[in-house]
């Protein structure tokens, strides 16, 4: 099939369709409603194709506020799990940054906890780059390093760096190759780049919710081989690479891969072929997701719709479930989310509240249905701390 979005690694415009995911067209949705998961006909890279351009995603991330929340895992937050992940990243990159005065930039920095880790290790010439005003504001009030409020695509001419970190960023980018060209321009001649992304070859090992890694934001599905290939194709020589596992919260583990590369003008050899099981494992993940989705629909339909319910967790998965109509027969008293940008909104006829709504006497015996994959245990602990006495289950 001909794709509207070219392969992010080799720019091929032909691909094989693996799966299609539809999102309901809820009010004020910015991102596309249809994602076609495809495998490049030339290099085999799996990526998302859709009827949208780069500006659509730029508008979405410019308006997104969730990454500024302290308790959002994997986004530069302050959880113990995030701190351990940042320590692991620092352990990998510090041996390559001999000069403590080197200018280090974290692009997509979130709240800046990775830079805090480097600051504790003696690095002072630090810059944080993020498209979220709230993330930048949080750092300005609590740190002494430079902050830049802009998207990666707008960085040219604003920084000159010796080392750049892009952790959990490249899976979101509309054009990773174009991003690498921009990063090359803001790196010194021998500058280095560290990238960490979800490892698509291992999605099937960690299945928490159906199609969780295909969430509308993650549109590039790298393995370490494809990460190396795109770096070598865009003027970088890979010096270090590997696969790893990172714990997000409690028992939620995510597979990641990483590469550290140096900017070069010398020819770089052709990379090895991708792992033979890369596409097979992604297909296995899609098959497992389909089975789990069917089981969860059966579970929803088996619940007593007359009970009084609050649905907690309006991430991509929760919103998709809610807007699918599966809960339309339920007696829903309200929706709950800690994201302030969602609170007060009306979604499918139901108001989004703060968790404090459950403290009202008439709500203490309601049933809370958790729709979040990552934050289930966190929500349960919060309910316990609130003294909530009603039933709690997960979908």
Domain range summary for the chain, segments of one domain joined by +: 15-284, 305-394
- The one-character DSSP state at 14 is B
Which residues of the chain fall short of a pLDDT of 50?
74-76
In sequence order, the 6+-apart residues with CB closer than 8 A to the CB of 68 are 110, 111, 132, 134, 135, 137, 138
Report residue 252 as tokens: 């939620």
pTM higher than the cut 0.85: yes
Q: What is the pLDDT of residue 309?
A: 95
Q: What is the pLDDT of residue 316?
A: 80
Question: What sign results for the dihedral spanned by CA atoms 67, 314, 24, 28?
Answer: negative
| Architecture label for domain 15-284 | 3-Layer(aba) Sandwich (3.40)
Distances (CA, A) of 202 to 19, 44, 114: 18, 16, 25
Q: What is the pLDDT of residue 76?
A: 47
Q: What is the pLDDT of residue 100?
A: 95
The answer to whether the 15-284 and 305-394 domains have the same CATH topology is yes
φ, ψ (nearest 5 deg) of residue 352 = -95, 125
CA dist., res. 114 & res. 88, Å (int)? 10
Q: What is the pLDDT of residue 77?
A: 53
Domain 305-394 has CATH 3.30.450.90: no
Distances (CA, A) of 144 to 44, 118, 147, 365: 44, 13, 9, 48
CA dist., res. 98 & res. 92, Å (int)? 13
Distances (CA, A) of 75 to 90, 118, 169, 179, 369: 16, 16, 10, 20, 25
């Amino acid at each position: 099939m001909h794709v509207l979005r070219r392969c992010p690694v080799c720019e091929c415009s032909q691909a094989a369709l693996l799966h299609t995911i539809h999102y309901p067209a809820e009010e004020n949705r910015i991102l596309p409603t249809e994602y076609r998961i495809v495998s490049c006909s030339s290099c085999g890279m799996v990526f998302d194709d859709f009827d949208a351009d780069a500006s659509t995603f730029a508008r979405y991330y410019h308006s997104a506020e969730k990454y500024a929340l302290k308790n959002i895992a994997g986004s530069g937050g302050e959880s113990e799990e995030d701190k351990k992940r940042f320590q692991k990243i620092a352990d990998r990159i510090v041996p390559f940054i001999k000069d403590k005065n080197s200018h280090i930039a974290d692009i997509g920095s979130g709240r800046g906890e990775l830079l805090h880790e480097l600051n504790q290790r003696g690095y002072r010439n630090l810059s944080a780059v993020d498209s979220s005003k709230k993330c930048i504001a949080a750092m300005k009030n609590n740190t002494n390093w430079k902050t830049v409020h802009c998207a990666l695509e707008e960085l040219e001419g604003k920084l000159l760096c010796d080392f750049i970190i892009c952790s959990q960023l490249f899976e979101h980018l509309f054009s990773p190759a174009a991003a690498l060209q921009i990063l090359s321009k803001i790196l010194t001649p021998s500058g280095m780049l560290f990238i960490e992304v979800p490892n698509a070859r291992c999605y099937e090992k960690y299945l928490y919710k159906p199609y969780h890694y295909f969430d509308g934001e993650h549109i590039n599905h790298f393995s370490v081989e494809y990460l190396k290939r795109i770096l070598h194709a865009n003027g970088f020589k890979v010096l270090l690479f590997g696969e790893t596992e990172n714990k997000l919260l409690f028992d939620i583990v995510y597979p990641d891969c990483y590469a550290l590369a140096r900017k070069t003008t010398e020819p770089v050899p052709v990379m090895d072929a991708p792992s033979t099981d890369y596409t097979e494992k992604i297909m296995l993940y899609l098959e497992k997701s389909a089975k789990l989705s069917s089981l969860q629909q059966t579970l929803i339909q088996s619940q007593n719709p007359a009970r009084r319910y609050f649905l907690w967790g309006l991430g991509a998965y929760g919103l998709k479930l809610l807007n699918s109509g599966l809960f339309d027969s339920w007696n829903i008293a309200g929706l709950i989310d800690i994201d302030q940008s969602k609170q007060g909104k009306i979604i499918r006829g139901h108001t989004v509240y703060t968790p404090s709504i459950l403290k009202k006497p008439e709500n203490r015996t309601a049933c809370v249905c958790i729709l979040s994959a990552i934050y289930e245990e966190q929500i349960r602990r919060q309910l316990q701390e609130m003294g909530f006495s009603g039933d709690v289950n997960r979908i």
